[in-house]
Amino acid sequence: MARIQDMKRIQDIKPKLIQRGMVDHKRVTIYLAPKYDSGMKGGHLSQLGFIGYMHELCNFSNGERTLAEIQRAMGHELTPLSIETLYELVSDLEELGYMTTVK
């Protein structure tokens, strides 16, 4: 499994879900809501708004699309997020065991 820290460029990361289907929203909320609600007050990811972004991120994460491609596509469906914020979401999903990255 490739670790995100080993990748040279964030925009070239290719996230991939480990298993088909959506992540367990309860588990994600329990672990990540405190982080996003406290660390990003007033942003698009506070007040459980991050769940919608994670849902779309999972939809696009097939191991073939780069994070930059996913960022552009998500920006057309939702309010655009920075590549660093998407990287953080990928890192969180990877840490929880739902996602990996492909070189």
At 50-65, the pLDDT tens digits run: 888 888 999 999 999 9
Q: What mean pLDDT do residues 21-44 have?
A: 76
pLDDT at residue 92 is higher than 80? yes
H or E segment and range at residue 16 = strand 14-17
Average pLDDT, the chain: 83
CA–CA separation, 41 and 71 (whole Å):
21
Fold of 4-102: Outer Surface Protein A; domain 3 (3.90.930)
71: confidence class by pLDDT, cuts 50, 70, 90: very high
Distance from C-alpha of 43 to C-alpha of 69, rounded to nearest angstrom: 22
Q: How far apart, in whole angstroms, are the C-alpha atoms of residue 77 and residue 3?
A: 28
Q: Give the model's pLDDT for residue 47.
A: 58
CB 46 within 8 A of CB 40: yes
Predicted local confidence at residue 93, as pLDDT: 93
For residue 89, the model assigns a pLDDT of 92
For 76-85, how does the pLDDT look when each residue is reduced to its tens digit (9 = 90+)?
888 888 899 8
The per-residue b/e assignment along 60-81, b for 16 or more CB within 10 angstroms, e otherwise, is bbeeebbbeebbeebeeeeeeb
Q: What is the mean pLDDT of residues 6-21?
A: 82
Domain ranges of the chain: 4-102
